Structure 1
Amino acid sequence: MTSKDALPIGYPFASKSEAASSQVEGESVPLVAPNTAASDGTRTHAAPRVTQRRLRAVEARLSDRDLAVLSSVERFRFLTAEHIEALHFHDHASAESGGRTCRRVLVRLRRERVLGVLNRRVGGVRAGSQGLVYFVDAGGERIQRQGESSRRGRRFPEPSARFLDHTLAIADVAVGIKAAADVSGAEVVQVAPEKEARRPYVDRLGGTQVLRPDLYVELAARPGDEDVQAFFVEIDLGHESLPTVLRKCRQYEAYCQAGIEQRDFGGFPRVVWVMGAYRPEIADRRRQTLRAAIGRGARLTPELYRVTAAEEVAAQLVQEVRHG
């Protein structure tokens, strides 16, 4: 990647997603159960019906930051209170004041049915309000979908634990990259979560395929720097077999051979595998196994890939951009 001007214009975390480039638009297919929200049963409090009159009154009261929070939750499907605080309440005089303000805002958005919460918390009951997991509730969805055909009556089951863990892991990485960039003085030019990062292409046999990264990231060493580096990020929490992971690598190779990124943006993004597991020693062994398999893969390009841990990926990407 050589010029920011040649790249799709990324929108910040606090803006709406409608401005995404044509190359990162559309809905993606989840890796597991296709759950993207939650049913009325996931709310832990009685909520008033969202009439059109009430919706207009709620929308009129929403601040730019409220809309930014709504947009972030919609983009990532699910976010914890901790994610929301890191993305939208980090500029307060102290962490305590930012946390208090975030909690007040989230209580209000829940009361107005702009956001809802799942029945289960991340980290269990001891996590308190920081462990609540938010989704876009009925009022928020109708605000987001103004002018589109009505979706009233649509119901979703609670997401599976596997799907929720994976979705929140994507948000963890995105928030971590933003925090690491802020500390180092780097710039997050764009972060596109799973449903925005899809890449359609035609394979060598003429068939239409779609590559679905978990995350697409563009970073610059410093604000305003025209030299931007891009990354596709894949997250595996120990659920996928090695053949499945290598099959995804071969799809990246096929997409690379299609030449779309090189033609449009001047280069192909690095592919970063974030590998985890329920025990650190198992996660480490899986990372070593994947590195070895990529190194000996006849149809793979080893220098295209990075394999790392979730707790290290943000600092590694920012350091790579900062120091080349």
Structure 2
Amino acid sequence: MTAARLRGRALERILDSLSDRDRAILVDVGRNRVLSGAQLSRLHFVTIAPTARDRIRRKVLARLVTLGVLAILDRRVGGARSGSDGLVFAPGIAGQRVLPLLAAESAVKLPTRARRPWTPGERFLKHSLDVSELGVQLREQEQTGAVTLARWAVEATAAYPNGFGGLMKPDASLLLQAGNIEDSWVIELDRATESLPTLRHKLLAYVDFANAGQVGPDGTIPRVLVVVSHEKPLVIENRLKAIQELVSGLPDPADRLIHAVRFEQAVPHLVNVLDG
């Protein structure tokens, strides 16, 4: 069904047919733009017995795809052997129409413009799924009771005014809480595809933002976490060292503002800084 035809009663019927879990799945996919089958399983099906988990997940997600609430992208992750775990889901046309209605219920910032789902290139998709994975890991930390993920936004919904008529455009931004302590962060996901001068220019913008006394979406100057990800460990090691050297050469307060870590260290680092 086209976006133009999905209005009024047709939209109401779809919304009424969604269970609480269906709605939560759509909100998570909408908030992250893309999620894999494996990531959705960890977020919404982990309490189901392992013997039935995959079957129930496939049935639930297939129904949402049939309704147009979700769409399966043409590109999968992990190859053919990954099965349904490797399928990548995005909001379908119906899902995009429903999302604005759910945004008010879920108190999260969600995209509101409906467009036909499209499959990005492999490089961009890997980047997006890495960012989504950080959000999934933070949600898992939240489920343990260690922290509260009070806010999580990616791509366009993570942007905020830079105070000079433009926008800061991190890959993600978040607010993490523990008791009465909270930390505001932005994330730059680095897969060693940008030149170091380009990355320097991007990080210098955060330094200028801080020195100008501007505040981010949480009413404070957010810290910056550069997360280095790649399939090759040697690339990660070399890239991380280069970024750390780059940060050390930036003006104050770069040494306190900007942190750089390997991908697997990112969420533990966020939690440890909050605890500290």
For Structure 1 versus Structure 2, the TM-score category normalised by the shorter chain is: 0.7 to 0.9
Counterpart position of 2:45: 89
Whole-angstrom distance in 1 between the partners of 2:265 and 2:229: 11
**1:136 is matched by which residue type in structure 2?**
P
Say if 1:181 and 1:318, in contact at 8 Å, map to a contact too.
Answer: no
1:164 matches 2:125: yes
Aligned residue runs from structure 1 range 180-199, under 5 A: 180-183=141-144, 185-199=146-160
**1:254 is matched by which residue type in structure 2?**
D
Counterpart position of 1:255: 209
Q: Which runs of 5+ in 1 are unaligned?
A: 1-39, 41-48
Counterpart position of 1:177: 138
- Structure 1 length as normaliser, TM-score? 0.73
Counterpart position of 2:190: 236
**1:166 is matched by which residue type in structure 2?**
H
Whole-angstrom distance in 2 between the partners of 1:96 and 1:200: 48
Counterpart position of 2:31: 75
Aligned residue runs from structure 1 range 103-118, under 5 A: 103-118=58-73
Distance verdict in 2 for CA 1:186–1:202, change over 3 Å:
closer
**1:186 is matched by which residue type in structure 2?**
V
Q: Deviations over 1:46-105 (max 9, x none)?
A: xxx968655443322111221121122122211111222222233x25455444432221
Say if 1:233 and 1:271, in contact at 8 Å, map to a contact too.
Answer: yes
Greater shift after overlay, 267-276 or 299-308?
299-308
Paired residue secondary structure (1:297): coil
Whole-angstrom distance in 2 between the partners of 1:311 and 1:187: 20
TM-fit CA distance, 1:155: 4.3
Whole-angstrom distance in 1 between the partners of 2:254 and 2:263: 23
Paired residue secondary structure (1:135): strand
TM-fit CA distance, 1:143: 2.5
Say if 2:67 and 2:94, in contact at 8 Å, map to a contact too.
Answer: yes
Whole-angstrom distance in 2 between the partners of 1:98 and 1:275: 32
1:211 matches 2:168: yes
Paired residue secondary structure (1:320): helix
Counterpart position of 1:288: 241
Whole-angstrom distance in 1 between the partners of 2:49 and 2:167: 44
Q: Deviations over 1:267-308 (max 9, x none)?
A: 422210001233111111110111012112346621211111
Whole-angstrom distance in 2 between the partners of 1:151 and 1:178: 26
TM-fit CA distance, 1:134: 0.7
Whole-angstrom distance in 1 between the partners of 2:181 and 2:199: 30
RMSD of aligned alpha carbons: 2.7
1:274 matches 2:227: yes
- Structure 2 length as normaliser, TM-score? 0.85
Say if 2:72 and 2:89, in contact at 8 Å, map to a contact too.
Answer: yes
**1:318 is matched by which residue type in structure 2?**
V
Q: Which runs of 5+ in 2 are unaligned?
A: 102-111
Alignment: residue pair count: 263
